[in-house]
Chain A
Amino acid sequence: MDTVADKQKREDSLNGVGCSRKRKEDARFIQGKGNYTDDIKMPGMLFADMVRSPYAHARIISINTEKALALPGVHAVLTAADLKPLNLHWMPTLAGDVQAVLADEKVHFQYQEVALVVADDRYIAADAIDLVEVEYEELPVLVDPHKAMTAEAPILREDLVGKMEGAHSTRKHDNHIFNWQAGEKDATDRVFDAAEVTVSQDMVYHRVHPCPLETCGCVASMDKINGKLTVYLTSQAPHVVRTVVSMLSGLPESSVRIVSPDIGGGFGNKVGIYPGYVASIVASIVLGVPVKWVEDRMENISTTAFARDYHMRGELAADSNGIIKALRVNVLADHGAFDSCADPSKFPAGFMHICTGSYDIPVAHLNVDGVYTNKAPGGVSYRCSFRVTEAVYVIERTMDVLAQKLGIDKAEIRRRNFVKKEQFPYTTCLGFELDSGDYHTALEKVLDAVDYKGLRREQEEKRANGELMGIGLVTFTEVVGAGPSKSCDILGVGMFDSAEIRVHPTGSVMARMGTITQGQGHQTTYAQIIASELGITSDEIAIEEGDTDTSPYGLGTYGSRSTPVGGAATAVAARKIKAKAKKIAAHLLEVSEDDLEWEVDRFKVKGVPGQEKTMKDIAWAAYNNVPEGMEPGLEAVDYYDPPNFTFPFGAYLCVVDIDKDTGVTDIRRFYALDDCGTRINPMIIDGQIHGGLTEGYAVAMGQEMPYDEEGNLLGNTLMDYFLPTFVETPKWETDYTVTPSPHHPIGAKGVAESPHVGSIPTFTSAMVDAFAHLDVTHMDMPHNAYRVWKQIKALGLLDN
């Protein structure tokens, strides 16, 4: 007899959605038995290394490869001259620009790729690099984006001179890349002109780098006998890479195989195609043997997709009660030497227009201008959800500034302006349709948990005592799950995603998706989704991703899109299987489908206990006993084109104590409440949040990529670049609410980037709050001890 307890036991044994089951991939990672790109060994494989420019801006007078080629063990040295006949010395970027593969006549940023050396082993390759003699003529350097469009600015992109029609707009200067706007300029200006209260705050979201543990690399192998090119690659979007490689090489996609093996962290750093990949592929094709290229840490930090470098002005118009009437945001975007941003094609500024945040704002205008400088190319990466980090930063900081001006508490002003629960789905004035949310509940839960009033009282006392204590608060709304193909595409391919699921005769499952995990836990979470849909334990569901020969076409994993899009495809494919399974069950039980109901892992005949078929029974039957006219087998594919993005949200609060003597900040408390809709694996969610908060802490409190005036990148090693260890990292407190997404098959929204998006402005909010009683409205990041001390000194707070 089936009791409630039995049913619970069956439910638990599924280890499905909602269960904090251990990750299936961890066994190999913890034991050092992962299979990363640098683990790949192929017979005859050679090693490539890159000669790079020491200068930020220079003409190449000559390249002499004689000595390098003479070194025993060196097989080839490739330069732009070698790639020119193949028209591969330049390649298209994801943002509609072009990027030099190997520098053609001039270099545009320090460490830019100039020549690829291929040798028997990596040691000879390293020696050969030193032997390549490049003569440069240094040119004036531009590192300040504010100077990029002045009359005196040196012209960087000589290849674009005269081409005033850019990929996204007309260019108003040779160093201008694009102009992008959203909202209504005139209507917004009118509201500002007439407003009771306005605030304006300039802020810099500084350039940082995701610095994944594993750097980028590839093993390119052209098999001349079979005419097939295989590339093992650290890529967050293997199918897109296949399509691009096919286009660049002229090989049909059926002759190109891209494999993303285990990836040691992507964070947006591994979406784009790097010169090292292209040059290695060419080397392999030319030499007929596999060629491995793996960059070192300095190369990774100095040349691959950096994040941010947005110079913003946030303005709010409001009434004296703090009710917002309009928002105006102006951005100067520094993209470095080439615009290689990985954004959906139509959005050169990503989803910056989510900058209306969690608030009910009637009218707004956003203006973004992108410019070139002599720095590494890029701009979108590091858990930013396509510039959502920047958007949330500008709105949350400006809200604080408004609150401060009006003397209204930070939490209160947010309450007054939140989009209310009843207003969802809510279309913002800049064009996003927020799917669901309950901002008030999230905020109150956090304030209660930390005793906000008590903290403010404590702050009063500490201030009277001359101590610096700050409370930061952020209530963010994120946009992830790119995206509906009518608006979202990468190089023309719509941003759907896919899942293919096959149930074996003995009831276990194999599934493949078009996404690719880089540590997010897909092997576990996708299995949990399928387990709950099909009633088969996730222990027996194998998940594979990353091999373009076998997995269905997908756009990859970045911008937290796997759960909203890939997870949706998975659920829908599973439901197709379930629909077929129901027919088979009806056939086996000799009833009509309408007489059946589903319970945990089986179809039961309504009202007739004992008449049931488990999914396992059905799976076996699918291979030998299907109803008349039905084909055998039990599998399905779904390509899911999401109807909308999803909008995870959260409320974060941070308490800091600053040591006046040294500028060192102690993060006393950080409380993070996240709402990502349905929670598939709470333990994995916590892991994601801890990771995102830690990276947020690193960005806000210490990471920076300082360029000096000559374009030298200072601090591009881990000696300087701030990667916090356990010793520095604060203790995170996490909490949650659940507001499912109404349009998602299982109501899940995605979570991985929220902690990064939300935490960074929270730290700044806390730091500024520590000095707010002294009329400080903003402090730019990073809030390292040195910079904070300078602020303390400037405010006259040091006893002297």
Chain B
Amino acid sequence: MIPSCFEYHKATSIADAIAKLQDNEDAKLLAGGHSLLPMMKLRFSEAPYLVDINGIEGLKGISIDGDTITIGAMTTESELIRSDILQQYCPLLVEAAKLVADPQVRNKGTIGGDVAHGDPGNDHPAVMLALDAQLVIHGPDGERMIPANGFFLGTYWTALEEYEILVAIKVPALTSGTGHGYHKLKRKTGDYAVAGSAVVVEMNGDVVRDIRIGLTNVAPMAIRAEAAEDLIRGKRVDDVLLKAVEKAIVAACDPAVDLRGDEEYKSHMAAIMARRSIIQAIENAKE
């Protein structure tokens, strides 16, 4: 449970961090460290060179500008939970953050790390999909912005190119008629999800005008349950429809088999979490 030898460097700026990544083979970014360090302690990762991006100006902070909220990638889960802006304008993120790991991990773990790491068990990617977030990325060739939808490609595999760093996340501020829901089934405090679902709806009275359903840990990466969304869009939700939605969600899942459950259980739990989140989202859209 002791990592192998590594060099530790503190980056002074984003440009410095990128340069260090380019100059040192197999260098890894150190953000909160709570996904990377356990892998290093098990010696699954033997990163010889760590670039610490804690303390870089401009990577922290939550601000709102009109209808867009910008969150620095190095914002910790605890900071997300405490944020007045998010509590008022993006409560989905606050609710999801509260269910990440445990308090100690939440004090160090960052939203950027959680999004960029690529572990299918990480909680934020599905939330990003449900919010239709935009990801701000800096690389050797400058800055670019890409939608979260399409960023998550597989296990430990995102659209981040070599030497790129996720610097900020942009999410839409809650508008009237929008509702959100979040449910995560886990075996115990601190565990990855058996299955989790983040839902955002836009209502037109009783009719669901638009819906986005993100699913956690039931595929090689976070996914949108698009077939299920298509069933709901433009309709009123009732028990019959929800049953059909559950079936569609089960069909969309491709979870790994582990001690949390087999494919059947996890897929069905994804459906139940989604169902509960959909109902919750429609409920709080009315408020």
User: In the bound complex, how far is the Cα of B53 from the Cα of A218, in angstroms?
Assistant: 39
List of A residues within 8 angstroms of B209 by Cβ = none
Asked if B187 and A722 sit within 8 Å, CB to CB, the answer is yes
Partner of A296, one of B1, B194, B268: B1
A662-B185, A702-B187, A725-B188 known; A786 and B4 CB under 8 Å? no
Check A151 for interface membership: any CB of B closer than 8 A.
no
Indicate with 1 or 0, residue by residue over A125-139, a CB within 8 angstroms of chain B CB atoms: 011001000000000
Question: Which one, A122, A130, A662, A714, contacts B4 given CB within 8 A?
Answer: A130
Asked whether any CB of chain B lies closer than 8 Å to the CB of A789, the reply is yes
Contact A790 B2 (CB under 8 A): no
Question: Among residues 333 to 359 in chain A, which have CB atoms less than 8 Å away from a CB atom of chain B?
Answer: none
B residues less than 8 Å from A784 (CB atoms) = 187
Q: Find residues 427-470 in chain A having any chain B CB closer than 8 Å to their own CB.
A: none
Closest chain A residue to B275, Cβ basis = A661
A81 within 8 A of B: no
Whole-angstrom CA separation of A728 from B120 in the bound complex: 25
A198 CA to B260 CA in the complex, in Å?
A: 38
B2's partner among A123, A297, A661, A704 (CB-CB below 8 A) is A123
Q: Which residues of A contact B188 (CB under 8 A)?
A: 702, 722-725, 727-728
In the complex, the answer to whether A715 meets B259 with C-beta atoms within 8 Å is yes
Cβ–Cβ contact B265 & A126, under 8 A: no
Interface flags, A647-668, vs B, CB<8A=1, else 0: 0000000000000011110000
Residue B43 CB within 8 A of the other chain: yes
- In the assembled complex, which residues on chain B have CB atoms less than 8 Å from the CB atom of A126? 1-2, 4
Pair B1/A727 contact, Cβ less than 8 Å: no
Contact, CB under 8 Å: B185 / A664: yes
Q: Does A411 contact B (CB under 8 A)?
A: no
The yes or no answer to A719 lying at the interface (CB within 8 A) is yes
Count chain A residues whose beta carbon lies closer than 8 angstroms to a beta carbon of B.
31
A758 to B263, CA, bound (A): 35
B140 CB within 8 Å of chain A: no
B58 within 8 A of A: no
A728's contact among B1, B189, B192, B268, by CB below 8 Å, is which? B189
Cα distance A319–B262 when bound, in Å?
Answer: 44
A786 x B261 contact (CB < 8 A) = yes
Determine if B272 is an interface residue (Cβ-Cβ < 8 Å).
yes
Q: Which A residues are CB-close (under 8 A) to B55?
A: none
Nearest to A702 among chain B residues (CB) is B187
In the complex the two chains form, is A785's CB within 8 Å of B194's CB? Answer: yes
Which chain B residues numbered 271 to 285 have a C-beta less than 8 Å away from chain A?
A: 272
Bound-complex Cα distance A784 to B102 (A): 20
Kindly list chain A residues whose C-beta atoms are within 8 Å of the C-beta of B185.
662, 664, 785
Tell me if A297 and B1 are in contact (CB < 8 A): yes
Contact check, B259 vs A706: say whether CB atoms are below 8 A apart.
Answer: yes
Tell whether, in the assembled complex, residue B265 and residue A789 are in contact, meaning their CB atoms are under 8 Å apart. yes
A298 within 8 A of B: yes
The smallest beta-carbon distance between A375 and chain B, in angstroms, is 17
CB distance from B180 to the nearest CB of A (A): 21
The interface residues of chain A lying within 8 Å CB-to-CB of B191 are 719
> In the complex where A702-B188, A722-B187, A724-B188 touch, is A662 in contact with B259 (Cβ < 8 A)?
no
Once A122-B2, A130-B43, A297-B1 are accepted as A-B contacts, the answer to whether A662 and B190 lie under 8 Å apart by CB is no
Chain A residues in 8 Å Cβ range of B272: 661-662
Whether B190 contacts A786 by the Cβ 8 Å rule is: no
Q: Which residues of A contact B243 (CB under 8 A)?
A: 799
What secondary structure prevails in chain A residues at the interface with B? loop
Asked if A720 is at the interface of the complex by the 8 Å CB criterion, the answer is yes
User: Which A residues are CB-close (under 8 A) to B269?
Assistant: 662
User: Least Cβ distance of B54 to chain A in Å?
Assistant: 23
Q: In chain A, what residue has the closest Cβ to B239?
A: A799
Shortest C-beta distance, A453 to chain B (Å), equals: 35
Within 8 A of A (CB), among B234-264: 243, 259-262
B contacts with A, residue count (CB < 8 A): 23
CA A127 to CA B4, docked complex, whole Å: 7
Q: Which B residues, 158 to 196, have Cβ-Cβ distances below 8 Å to chain A? A: 185, 187-192, 194
* 8 Å CB interface, A538-596 against B: none
What 1/0 flags go to B1-41 for Cβ under 8 Å of A?
A: 11011000000000000000000000000000000000000
Q: A725–B4 contact, CB under 8 A?
A: no
Per the bound structure, the CA–CA distance linking A539 and B270 in Å amounts to 58
Q: With a CB–CB cut-off of 8 A, which chain B residues contact A662?
A: 185, 269, 272
Shortest beta-carbon distance from B256 to chain A in Å: 13
What residues on A are CB-neighbors of B5 within 8 Å? 127
Instruction: With both chains docked as a complex, state the minimum distance between the C-beta of B261 and any C-beta of chain A, in angstroms.
Output: 4
* Interface hits, A712-750 → B, CB 8 Å: 714-715, 719-720, 722-725, 727-728
Does B265 contact A790, Cβ atoms closer than 8 Å?
A: yes
Contact (A786, B260) CB under 8 Å given A126-B2, A298-B1: yes
A725 touches B43 (CB 8 A): no
Alpha-carbon separation in the docked complex, A662 to B183 (Å): 12
Q: How long is the Cα–Cα vector from A722 to B190 in the complex, in angstroms? A: 11
Residues from chain A with a CB closer than 8 A to the CB of B265 are 663, 786, 789-790
Measured CA separation A298–B194 after assembly (Å): 23
**Given the complex, which residues of B lie within 8 Å of A702, measured CB to CB?**
187-188
- CB neighbours of A799 from chain B (8 A): 243
CA–CA, A298 to B243, complex, Å? 43
A153-170 near B? 1/0 per residue, CB < 8 Å: 000000000000000000
Give Cα distance in the complex from A126 to B1, angstroms: 8
Query: CA separation between A692 and B274, bound complex, in Å?
Result: 37
Q: Which residues of B contact A123 (CB under 8 A)?
A: 2
Q: How far is B232's CA from A306's CA once the two chains are assembled, in angstroms?
A: 51
A55 vs chain B, min Cβ distance (A): 18
Cα A784 to Cα B192 with chains together (Å): 15
State the Cβ distance, A496 to closest chain B Cβ, in Å. Answer: 41
Interface flags, A274-315, vs B, CB<8A=1, else 0: 000000000000000000000011100000000000000000
- State A536–B260 Cα separation when bound (angstroms): 56
A723 to B102, CA, bound (A): 13
- Which chain B positions have C-beta within 8 A of A661? 272
Mark interface residues in A93-127 (1 if CB within 8 Å of B CB, else 0). 00000000000000000000000000000110011
- Roughly how many angstroms separate A664 CA and B191 CA in the complex, as a whole number? 15
Tell me which residues across on chain B come within 8 A of A785, comparing CB atoms. 185, 187, 194
The CA-CA distance from A789 to B272 in the complex, in Å, is 12
Q: Which A773-800 residues sit within 8 Å CB-CB of chain B?
A: 784-786, 789-790, 799
A124 to chain B, nearest CB (A): 10
Give the chain B neighbours of A297 by CB distance below 8 A: 1
A789 to B260, CA, bound (A): 12
Q: Which B residues are CB-close (under 8 A) to A786? A: 194, 260-262, 265
Cross-interface CB contact of B259 among A122, A130, A714, A723, cutoff 8 Å: A714
Neighbouring A residues of B190 by C-beta, 8 Å: 725
Query: Shortest Cβ distance from A133 into chain B, in angstroms?
Result: 16
A466→B33 CA distance, assembly (Å): 47
The residue of chain B having its C-beta at the shortest distance from the C-beta of A799 within the complex is: B243
Q: Nearest Cβ in chain B — how far from A696, in angstroms?
A: 16
On chain B, the residues within 8 Å of A298 by CB distance are: 1
In the bound assembly, the distance between CA atoms of A297 and B102 in angstroms comes to 19
A783 to B: closest C-beta gap in Å:
12
Contact partners of B4 in chain A: CB under 8 A: 126-127, 130
- 15 A-B pairs with CB atoms under 8 Å apart are A122-B2, A126-B2, A661-B272, A662-B269, A663-B265, A702-B188, A719-B191, A720-B259, A723-B188, A727-B189, A728-B189, A785-B194, A786-B260, A786-B262, A799-B243
Residues of B within 8 A of A (CB): 1-2, 4-5, 43, 102, 185, 187-192, 194, 243, 259-262, 265, 268-269, 272
Report, nearest first, the 6 A-B pairs whose CB atoms are least far apart: A126-B2, A786-B261, A296-B1, A725-B189, A727-B189, A661-B272
New contact pairs (6) apart from A127-B5, A714-B259, A786-B265, CB-CB < 8 Å: A130-B43, A725-B190, A728-B188, A785-B185, A786-B260, A799-B243
Q: Which residues of A contact B (CB under 8 A)?
A: 122-123, 126-127, 130, 296-298, 661-664, 702, 704, 706, 714-715, 719-720, 722-725, 727-728, 784-786, 789-790, 799
